[in-house]
Each structure stands twice: as C-alpha cells, then as structure tokens.
Amino acid sequence: MKTNDNFIAVYSRKSKFTGKGESIGNQIELCKEYIRTHYGNAALENIIIFEDEGFSGGNLNRPDFQNMMEAAKNHKFHTIIVYRLDRISRNISDFSGLIEELSNLNIDFVSIKEQFDTSTPMGRAMMYIASVFSQLERETIAERIRDNMQELAKTGRWLGGITPTGYESESVKNVIIDGKSKKACKLKLIPEEAEIVKMIYDLYIETDSQTATEAELIKRGIKTKNNKYFTRFSIKAILQNPVYLTADEDAYNYFKKVNSKLYSAKDAFDCIHGIMAYNRTTQEKGKTTEYHPPNEWIISVGLHHGIIPGKMWIKVQESLERNKNKAYHKPRNNEALLTGLLYCSCGNRMYPKLTPRKTAEGKSIYTYVCHLKERSQRAACNNKNANGNAMDTEVIEQIKTLAKDNDTFITQLEQSRKLFTGNRETYGKQLTSMKQKKAEIEQKIEGLVDTLADLSDGAAKNHVAKRIEQLSQESIDIRSQIHELENLTSQNTLSDIEFDIMRRLLTIFKDSIDEMSVEQKRTTVRTIIQKVVWDGENAHVILSGVRDDEIKLPKTHWGDVSK
C-alpha cells in the first residue's frame, strides 16, 4: 500500500514538565520551522502532531508514540520529524527496530538537531551511530548510579524506599565513607511489628506452608501496616527478605556458600545486627520485577538489629525452595462461566476449584469457593461452597428464559450497552491519567536517586532519602490503582460493533447458546450479568445496567446449588 504523500508526523517527548528548555511546545515549533524551510508553508497544513509529556525515553511504552506507530502502519504519513534523536528513544535495540520498521513502511525519519535523514544512506548510517552514543550515555549514568549505591551499601546504611515490616527509617551520624564521617539513615526496630515478623517465621516453620501461615494470621486478626490481611505473597516477601536475618556465624557461612559478594568481615557478624542485601532485584518500568539469585547479592552487616537467627532463616529458605513447585496452579481447561462475576455474600470473590470427580458426560466437576474462606480456613467466612456445574447450568437456563421476551431483552441489552461504553471511556481516561502520574513519580525518583548519590553529608541528603521513600510509597499505591482500573477496563471491552453482533446473537440465544464455545458463553454471560452474589444457599443475580445503589439483596434466587 502506498504511503500518504501529503502528511508529515511530528513527534515530541519530555520526561517531565519544567517550563523551560526543550519543552513539548518548543520541540513542536522547531519541527514546524524545519517543515516550513524544507517542505514549504503549505506543508504546515498537513502535519499530524503526537506528544508524550511525562514519559521516559528508556522504552517505547508511551501512549502517543504507540498511536503514531499505529498511524504509520496505516500509511497516514510519509515522514516522521523529531527535534532530537533521544526524543524517540535512548535504547539502541528499540531504535534500530524502529528504523527497520519505518524502512519497511517506506516512511522517512528526520532528526533536526543531529541533521539526520533516513532518506539518504549516510543519514541512516549516522543515525545508528548517534543512537549507539545515546544508549552509551544512558548506560554510563546507570552504571554510575549502581557504583554509588554499592559504595553506600558497604556501610550497612538504609538506602531508602519502603521500609520492611518491623522497621522504620531514622537518621544517624558517624557513618564512615572514604575516611569521612557522613550523616545517613538506618532501620530502627518497631517492637510490636517485629513480633509479627517472628510470628510469621514461627508459623511457617511449624506448618511448612505459606497458605496455612496466611490462614492462621487471618484467624488471629493479624494485619499489615495498611490494615489489610497478610497474603501469601506478602508473607513470602517477609520470609525471603535477608533484612530480618541476624548477622551470626550461620549467616556468614551461608553467604560464603552461595558466593554472595561480602563487604563485611567475618568479625562484623556479631549476632546482634541484621543484614543489608543490595542488588537483590532489577526493576524496570513496564516489566515484572526480576529477582536475582544470592550469588549476585552484595551483602553487608547493617546498622539495624536482626530479628531472625541465621539457622532459622536458612531453614526457611530451604523450605521455600523445596515447596516452590508445589504451588497451586489454575487449571488451563477451566470451564467455569462465572469466574470474575461471582462474589460471596461476605464481599470477597469466589473462584472455581476442580475436584477429581467427573460428571456422567465426562466433564470435570468443580465448585466455587470463597477466596477469604479458603485463605482463613473457614475462620473469617464459613459460607457453603457452590456447586459450579449446577450454578452455571442454571444461569444459562435462566438467560434462555429471559431471551424469550424479546422486547424486555433488547431493552436490557441497551442499558447494558450504555453501562459498558460509559465505564470503558471513564476507566480509560482514569487509566491514562494514573499511568502519566506514575511515570512522573518514577521520573522524580530517578532524579532524586542521582541527587542522593552526588550530595555531600548534611540535612539535605536525609531529606532527599525521605522524599524518595515517600514517592516510592505513592508509586506502589498508584500501581495498585492502575491494576484495579485495568481489571475493570478488561471487563468492559466490547466495542460497539461487537455489541451489536452479540445483540443479534442473543436474540436467538435459546438456539445458539449450546453451540457456543466456553469463551463465547463467558462473553455472553458478561453481557447480560453484572454480578452474582452467593449467600451460601442461593445465587442472587444482578443484571447489567443496574446501578450499585439499586441493588437490594435478596434480588432473586435460582434454587439451592450449594455443596
């Protein structure tokens, strides 16, 4: 397909708004001036502007950049113009892939600052060279940060971030770095939280199970700093964290055995202080946190008090390694239709759990189980499980009955359509705003980490460390909100065309439902049903389009499908 010969794309990016320098507006104006000079005034009427404010050049996961590439694939323009090369990317792999993709699409790329133009062979060669230097600069900065953080880690100082359960951060003095006394932060024990940490280790040693530990904590009403129940994941994070490990002989021998990089002498392992471990993870925006093996850790004796003896901590690590392949895996061939829609009357979601038994037709038998009931081992919720096969069958039969009244059925679908469309647009806007805010916070953290490494001793350094900790908590909170919004958005993904197709399909629901695949049935059920609430005896079904403030249980029930 021939590329559009009339339009030119202008792309601009800035990590954060500063009101000066190469702002989004300045970049666009400079690109317009270039277009005026090289393509004529008439070309200014045919430009498409894409801009990303508050996004790093470390990767290509930027909303308007993705929009621009989608437009490129649809041949909406013939050239992309940027003010400077690093506005597109600081990563050589991303950049080379981009240039190759644009070449395949017959789209030229122009960078004004470097005066590169991929429409010429020399321009393409110089573009790659400049990109190499751009990535070299980025990696040099990252390497400098790593080196500085390693030097700081050798001192046993707390380097900032979210403080682990059992501790808080406090300012201390007289930390020696390169022969100089400098002010720093350390972890300070919180006795009541430390007792919870000890309880978690004792329970795990006793049960050899994260699930059983979680259940017992819920039974005892033990909660996190944020007043939420501990989950298996938060429990595992505590069990794996060497910050709780007392620096004793067992700890020293363990780190020697696993070839960790030790920055403290053996005599520093005094059976009193805890362990600081650096380089345990790699965290990159847009990627899952990568956990490194112990032989890549940098270990030093911390300034804080340890909580867990070395022998116990090592025993826990051996148990976690032994049990990691025993974790529950959700069956791939899950035929449950109400996953994500079904809630227990206690307010928690219910999920399908397969049994070893089969129906007369050879299908797997499954039950719906309350998540809180399972986690607490009936301590916090004791509602009966629901017979999954019976409940799903009854839901389908009731929708068939509903479909017989065509006028009522179409009216219900139209209400559902408004709900789906409205929610999708609302969630989408909120999601974009949240992601931008998260990017801005992470950019601030990056800048403050650089500043922290360069600051000399003084109150300013302590203030920066505390600010990093505050921003890190904000980032975690926003990440949680983004995850929740993404889940809500994924539940409201029917386009108008898909909805109309579904409406026509549902008008002949009675005859077509039995021929649908499991995935098609799930989509169909989600179109009609907003939520199902199980009270231990009956299923209360709330149809799509019903507002939360209109829901008054019991609404309706479809018989006893308990087990």
Is it the case that residue 413 has pLDDT exceeding 60? Answer: no
121 or 186, which is more confident? 186
State phi, psi for 216 to the nearest 5 degrees.
-65, -35
The whole-number pLDDT of residue 509 equals: 60
Q: Is the dihedral of CA 136, 138, 141, 142 positive or negative?
A: negative
What is the C-alpha to C-alpha distance for residues 518 and 331, in angstroms, rounded to an integer?
14
Out of 170-179, 381-390, 476-485, 520-529, give the one with best mean pLDDT: 381-390
Mean pLDDT of 323-341: 66
What is the C-alpha to C-alpha distance for residues 516 and 400, in angstroms, rounded to an integer?
14
Q: Which of 109, 30, 31 is nearest to 69 (CA)?
A: 109
**Cβ neighbours around 47 below 10 Å, total:** 18
The whole-number pLDDT of residue 204 equals: 95
The whole-number pLDDT of residue 499 equals: 52
- Chain-centroid distance of CA 30 in Å reads 36
Q: Point out the least confidently predicted range of 64-73, 188-197, 248-257, 441-450.
A: 441-450
Mean pLDDT of 250-263: 93
355 or 246, which is more confident? 246
State phi, psi for 464 to the nearest 5 degrees.
-65, -40
The whole-number pLDDT of residue 409 equals: 55
Q: Point out the least confidently predicted range of 186-190, 450-454, 463-467.
A: 450-454
Q: Point out the least confidently predicted range of 131-145, 226-240, 384-398, 547-561.
A: 547-561
> Residue 491 — pLDDT band, cuts 50, 70, 90?
very low
The whole-number pLDDT of residue 454 equals: 62
Number of separate helices (H) and strands (E) present in the chain: 16, 18
Mean pLDDT of 462-488: 72
Instruction: Give me 402's structure tokens.
Output: 């509903």
What is the C-alpha to C-alpha distance for residues 66 and 311, in angstroms, rounded to an integer?
51
Is it the case that residue 128 has pLDDT exceeding 80? Answer: no
| Cis peptide bond upstream of 356, omega within 30 | no
DSSP states along 136-164: HHHHHHHHHHHHHHHHHHTTT----SSPP
Instruction: Give me 329's structure tokens.
Output: 């895996």
Q: What is the mean pLDDT of the chain?
A: 78
Instruction: Give me 20's structure tokens.
Output: 């000066």
Model pLDDT for residues 288-304, shown as the tens digit of each residue: 677 889 998 989 999 89
Model pLDDT for residues 503-546, shown as the tens digit of each residue: 555 565 666 677 777 776 776 777 678 889 999 998 888 876 55
**Cβ neighbours around 221 below 10 Å, total:** 9
What is the C-alpha to C-alpha distance for residues 455 and 464, in angstroms, rounded to an integer?
9
Which residue segments constitute the domains of the chain, with CATH numbers given?
8-142 (3.40.50.1390), 154-326 (3.90.1750.20), 342-550 (no CATH)
3-state helix, strand, coil in the chain (%, to 5): 50, 20, 30
Q: Point out the least confidently predicted range of 16-25, 87-96, 166-175.
A: 16-25
> Residue 82 — pLDDT band, cuts 50, 70, 90?
very high
The whole-number pLDDT of residue 193 equals: 94
What is the C-alpha to C-alpha distance for residues 506 and 526, in angstroms, rounded to an integer?
12
Model pLDDT for residues 140-183, shown as the tens digit of each residue: 666 666 666 566 656 667 777 788 999 998 887 655 555 555 56
User: For helices 518-528 and 388-404, what crossing angle results, to 10°?
Assistant: 60
Q: Which of 239, 245, 545 is nearest to 418 (CA)?
A: 545
Instruction: Give me 104's structure tokens.
Output: 């395949």
The whole-number pLDDT of residue 268 equals: 93
The whole-number pLDDT of residue 418 equals: 54
What is the C-alpha to C-alpha distance for residues 202 and 207, in angstroms, rounded to an integer?
9
Instruction: Give me 237's structure tokens.
Output: 């994070």
Q: Is the dihedral of CA 255, 259, 263, 267 positive or negative?
A: positive
The whole-number pLDDT of residue 167 equals: 94
Q: Point out the least confidently predicted range of 64-78, 364-378, 501-515.
A: 501-515
Q: Which of 34, 1, 40, 9 is nearest to 108 (CA)?
A: 9
Mean pLDDT of 391-418: 68
Q: Would you state the torsion angle of the CA atoms of residues 494, 495, 500, 501, taken in this order, to the nearest 10 degrees?
A: -70
Residues 6 or more apart from 413 whose CB is under 8 A from it? 499, 503, 506, 527, 528
The whole-number pLDDT of residue 243 equals: 95
Q: What's the chain's Rg over C-alpha atoms?
A: 29
What is the C-alpha to C-alpha distance for residues 171 and 162, in angstroms, rounded to an integer?
15
What is the C-alpha to C-alpha distance for residues 551 and 541, in angstroms, rounded to an integer?
10
Which contacts qualify for 482-485: CB closer than 8 Å, 24 or more apart? 482/431, 482/434, 482/435, 482/438, 485/427, 485/430, 485/431, 485/434
State phi, psi for 301 to the nearest 5 degrees.
-75, 130
The whole-number pLDDT of residue 562 equals: 46
Q: Which residue has the tokens 């998540």?
A: 371
Residues 311, 367: contact at Cβ < 8 Å? no
Helix (H, G, I), strand (E, B) or coil at 379: coil
What is the C-alpha to C-alpha distance for residues 113 and 130, in angstroms, rounded to an integer?
11
Largest CA distance in the chain: 85
Residues 526, 341: contact at Cβ < 8 Å? yes
Helix (H, G, I), strand (E, B) or coil at 60: coil
Mean pLDDT of 270-284: 85
> Residue 311 — pLDDT band, cuts 50, 70, 90?
very high
Is it the case that residue 563 has pLDDT exceeding 70? Answer: no
Out of 157-166, 204-213, 461-470, 535-544, give the one with best mean pLDDT: 204-213
The whole-number pLDDT of residue 556 equals: 37
The whole-number pLDDT of residue 440 equals: 83
Out of 324-338, 371-385, 420-434, give the one with best mean pLDDT: 371-385
> Residue 202 — pLDDT band, cuts 50, 70, 90?
very high
